[in-house]
Amino acid sequence: MSSDPRPALERRLAAAVDGLEAAFGPRRDRIEPAHACSHCFSAVDLNVLAGPVGEIPDRLFGAALWRWGTTMDANVRLWRRLTPRILREMAEQRLHIDETLIARKFGDAGWHEWPQDERNAVSEFCEAWFAASITAPEGPSAVAVLPFAAVMYRAATHWLERWAETPGPRADQQLARLAEWWLPELLNGSLDFSFSGELPDVAAELSTWLITQAPIRLAEGDLKPIDAYRLSQLPLPEDQRWGSVPH
């Protein structure tokens, strides 16, 4: 029996982060500096980014992620090198950058074509982080993690199936949160929660999933009145939605 007092989900996520460090190596060496706009990055900045990853200041690290692929060349070697720190800071909720932008850049870096051990480590992180979002009492918001995972895999189906298979109050509460965020878009028949169109519109799939899961998971009072009303409209054809809203 493990002596680690943390819940199993927290241990799994911590192990996934450790697995990233093992798969991608120590990264204490140097690489050739990336090419970037001199107005955005000085030569000193680029040299720091090419050095040990743990020594990159937070400000410079965030700037590199924002500008990688725009005013900084899409240097895949650099992105792979930064990957364990990127995902660790996401899990720790310290990376204040849109999750779907990060997922898009992983796609631009071709992460599905990286060496097998690296792909496996990234996949396990996605699985563990999503599981924490729908299971761990103090886990991250599924509203943030679902779009990230869906964009990483260019599909939401796997993650919705995982959610449907996962019972418990946390998964139910996160479903209510999801409804609060996205029902207006779903009622309008369009939802793109990727950063800039990397994922096919998920409105139909997510609507069908909500119609099936909400009666199973949500009791009366779990939703605000307006959200409960919106949910009741969702099974109707689009041209029949939006009757008078109850007061």
Distance between terminal CA atoms of the chain?
A: 54
How large a percentage of the chain has pLDDT more than 70?
A: 95
Q: What one-character DSSP code corresponds to residue 64?
A: H
| pLDDT at res. 57 | 98
What type of residue sits at position 80?
Answer: R
Entry field: residues in the chain? 247
Q: Which among 111, 109, 102, 133 has a CA at the least distance from the CA of 196?
A: 102
pTM: 0.91
The HSE-up count of residue 215 (CA atoms within 13 Å, CB side) is: 7
Whether 20 and 127 have beta carbons less than 8 Å apart is answered as no
pLDDT digits (tens, 9 = 90+) for 15-39: 999 999 999 999 999 999 999 999 9
Average pLDDT over residues 115-138: 96
Query: Could you tell me the pLDDT band of residue 9, with boundaries at 50, 70 and 90?
Result: low
SS3 72: strand
Token pair belonging to 29: 């060496």
Residue 229, pLDDT above cutoff 50: yes
Token output for 109: 């870096």
The pLDDT of residue 245: 47
Query: What would the two tokens of residue 46 be?
Result: 């680029």
DSSP 8-state symbol, 235: T
- Report how far residue 38's alpha carbon sits from residue 28's, in angstroms, rounded to the nearest whole number: 25
Is 240 a residue whose pLDDT tops 80?
yes
Taking every pair of C-alpha atoms in the chain, what is the biggest distance, in angstroms?
64
Taking residues 67-84, report their average pLDDT.
97
243 confidence band (pLDDT: 50, 70, 90): low
* Under 8 Å between Cβ of 209 and 160: yes
Per cent of the chain over pLDDT 90 is 83
- The yes-or-no verdict on residue 135 having pLDDT over 90 is yes
Contact 170, 135 (CB under 8 A): yes
pLDDT tens, 46-56?
999 999 999 99
Binning pLDDT at 50, 70 and 90, where does residue 4 land? low
Whole-number mean pLDDT of the chain?
92
Q: Are 194 and 104 in contact (CB under 8 A)?
A: yes
- The residue assigned the tokens 């189906």 is 157
Which are the contacts of 228, defined by CB distance < 8 A and separation ≥ 6?
220
Choose among 140, 190, 194, 191: nearest CA to 170: 140
pLDDT in tens, 192-213: 988 888 888 999 999 999 999 9
User: Could you tell me the CA-to-CA distances from 128 to 4, 13, 159, 231 in Å, in that order?
Assistant: 17, 5, 11, 29
- Residue 3 has a pLDDT of 52
